[in-house]
Amino acid sequence: MEWHPLLLSLQVASIATAITAVAGVLTAWLLASKRFPGRELLDVIITTPMVLPPTVLGYYVLVAIGRRSAIGGLYESLTGSSLVFTRTGAVIAAAIGAFPLVVKAARAALEAVDPMLVAAARTLGAGPARAFFTVRLPLAMGGIVAGIMLGFARSLGDFGVTLMIAGDIPGETQTASLAIYDAIQANRERDALGMIAVLSVTAIAILYVVNKLGAGDQHVR
């Protein structure tokens, strides 16, 4: 079995998940707590990657972070390296797939916490930040962790956007999903089977834990 693509997938998915966990929960808090013009439009834009074809999404990302874009150009001038066709590109691709899952789950979990409990914390002298970190966030944690785990599973298996942004460079950007595709294309099915088994078992295990977390949520209204 080829271990390198699997380890690379794990590394890329872990970094992408860490980024989306922080950014996703912050965005979910914003959507769940603040009223501002365009709030629902922002929610739609964040959700769009879940339904767009990976090639279309990949194209948009290429336009946004490619070498000729403002972001891509700035990154290259600062680091000397391009964002596309690199491991960083693979992380961005994985994060884009995971982000809406984290935001959706975290927003639903935060909105499900009884507002009366947050009001109770405020009347007991807690400022908005303390009420959030000691009451709302812990009570929403089951749903948030479930969303982060789904995001990790999604990152681990990304194919289309990774191919568009990071390419399929063995040893550099060839994640497990891409290596499986290459192996099947080249009639090296035996090379692919081990990775298929690991990705399948990981996905099933994650979904099982996510279901368990959902069943444990008894503190929501």
By CB under 8 A, name the binding residues for another protein: 114, 116-117, 119-127, 131, 134-135, 138-139, 218-219
Q: Is 13 or 135 the residue whose CB approaches another protein more closely?
A: 135
> In which residue are the tokens 């961005």 written?
92
CA pseudo-torsion sign 182, 185, 190, 196? positive
Least Å distance, CB 30 to another protein, is: 20
Least Å distance, CB 129 to another protein, is: 10
Q: Is 87 or 219 the residue whose CB approaches another protein more closely?
A: 219
Q: Is 75 or 132 the residue whose CB approaches another protein more closely?
A: 132
Least Å distance, CB 102 to another protein, is: 22
Contacts of 87 (CB under 8 A, 6+ apart): 8, 12, 166, 172, 173
Q: Is 104 or 136 the residue whose CB approaches another protein more closely?
A: 136
Q: Is 182 helix (H, G, I), strand (E, B) or coil?
A: helix
Least Å distance, CB 196 to another protein, is: 40
CB 31, CB 39: distance < 8 Å:
yes
- CA gap 166, 159 in Å, rounded: 10
- Report residue 171 as tokens: 């040893």
